[in-house]
Structure 1
């Protein structure tokens, strides 16, 4: 069976990582978000590849990590869920006005994901800042507005999440409000 790589994308603090962690607990193949780990590593070693210090270096590390994650999951059968992907590195470059390098263009062309992605809208109720997430909620909204891929809906309503085109209810428990995912038609 051919791998089907499903990207969860959206601005910071919108619930992507919480859903990925829940899917992993249910036994699904998942790739966790790389940016937070990169920021933690760079802070520990007083590095420069931080979005507030050197956006290009941060972007380049993100690309390297996303390429590695893509390759690491080639042996997986069936669906693999990604908390962001190579396409997000491209989007980050556009959002921050960074050069779209030949390496980035090549990676986007040669590393394909499913033709649809889950786009998580800004969710103010769960949005928080911390040592790794310095963006404010307005930036989360700008990030969401800048995303322009074909969509599967992610609807947020009073602490529940409905993922479009689901195969039945998935009950998710997060660290913040309990998340309950259902098909968009529910």
Structure 2
């Protein structure tokens, strides 16, 4: 059984907070590749920032996601990914039209159930690593919501409840 679970959805929708809760419960989690890349780029040249060169950023996120998956292969039980390969591939397709998502998904699939954070304006906050607007976040969410089912995933929307209740919900769906 594939134990790599993608948590995707709207930027600022509570994915990282949910993963912190799952980590506190003893599960393996993988931090969002994009956040790590943005932090590194802000400390360096800044050439692969999504607001500077989305294609370069997405290509780097794809490479990081593949490396994350290879490292996580040694984990036992569920491993939860804050975004990941499919999200990065969709960003590259959006930026360039280069069709990579289906091919990468065929090679590196996730568990058949993907959890999506819906837009939640009450908790959305911009920060130095998240500079896009809430309307941009919604547009990204809509792209993700379309492609995951096309790739054969069952998409489960996370309820707008406390983080502990969200974690309980995820774990109950996974059984």
Q: 1:75 to 1:157 in 2, by over 3 A?
A: closer
Separation of aligned partners in 2, 1:161 and 1:98: 38
Q: 1:114 to 1:144 in 2, by over 3 A?
A: same
Q: 1:161 to 1:90 in 2, by over 3 A?
A: farther
Q: 1:13 to 1:140 in 2, by over 3 A?
A: same
Match of 1:152 in 2: 156
Q: Show the 5 A alignment for 1:81-92.
A: 81-92=80-91
Match of 1:118 in 2: 115
Identify the match of residue 171 of structure 2 among 166, 169, 185.
166
> Comparing both structures, which one devotes a greater share of its residues to strand?
1
Describe the superposition over 1:45-99 as per-residue Cα deviations: whole angstroms up to 9, x where unpaired: 1230111111111011101100010000111112110001211112212333442
Gaps of 5+ in 1: 168-182
Q: Secondary structure at the match of 1:118?
A: strand
Separation of aligned partners in 1, 2:60 and 2:54: 10
Match of 2:61 in 1: 62
- Give the C-alpha shift of residue 152 in structure 1: 1.6
Q: TM-score, normalised by structure 2?
A: 0.84
Q: Show the 5 A alignment for 1:1-186.
A: 2-101=1-100, 106-147=103-144, 148=146, 149=148, 150-157=154-161, 162=166, 164=169, 166-167=171-172
Q: Is the 8 A contact 2:13 2:120 kept in 1?
A: yes
Of structures 1 and 2, the larger Rg is shown by 1
Q: Which has the higher contact order (CA 8 A, sep 6+)?
A: 2
Q: Secondary structure at the match of 1:128?
A: coil
> Comparing both structures, which one devotes a greater share of its residues to helix?
2
Task: Give the superposed CA RMSD.
Answer: 2.1
